[in-house]
Amino acid sequence: MGGLDDLYKEIILDHYRSPRGEGEIAEATVSVDQNNPMCGDEIHLALKIEDDRLVEVAHTGHGCSISRASASMMSELTPGTTVDEALDLVEHFRLVMHSETDPDGERLKDAVALEGVQKFPARIKCALLGWMALKDALQTHRDGGQQ
């Protein structure tokens, strides 16, 4: 599995070992569960949204280091953004993972370290899991849904 070693950069391991945003939100505005059966990754993502702005982003779950590190990076980036900004960021990250655009380091910060995952199609879903959970949660919120 030699090539995979390249994925496990220090920055990814750091997020995996010390996940940002891990935990629960007592009174979440919206929460979702998503999983990636290909790898066994699972995430429970909760958001607190006030005045169309994400004020808290928290996740629990388990899975491979890519999925957990990516969720950590996402939850570090998104607090303070508006719902639209968060959705734009998810879309940018998705396009980067599918090699459809170049990563914007200013926006992605640590998540740029996941760019190399695009070379490993089986792992792209791992990297996207937390972000797709975020998109799902934001759309659920927008649609007026509640858990």
The residue among 85 and 115 lying less far from Zn ion, judged by its C-beta, is: 115
The DSSP code for 50 is E
> Cα dihedral sign for 122, 124, 130, 133?
negative
Could you tell me which residues are beta bridge partners of residue 43? 34, 61
- Rounded to a whole number of angstroms, the minimum distance from the CB of residue 65 to Zn ion is 8
- Rounded to a whole number of angstroms, the minimum distance from the CB of residue 8 to Zn ion is 13
Q: Of the candidates 41, 54, 78, 137, which one interacts with Zn ion according to CB under 5 A? A: 41
The residue among 127 and 137 lying less far from Zn ion, judged by its C-beta, is: 127
Coil vs helix vs strand at 130: helix
Nearby residues of 62 by Cβ (< 8 Å), 6 or more positions away: 41, 42, 68
Q: Does 126 bind Zn ion (CB under 5 A)?
A: yes
Q: Does 39 bind Zn ion (CB under 5 A)?
A: yes
- The interface with Zn ion within residues 55-74 (CB under 5 A) comprises 63-64, 67
Residue located via tokens 């509640």: 146
Q: Which chain residues interact with Zn ion by CB under 5 A? A: 39, 41, 63-64, 67, 126
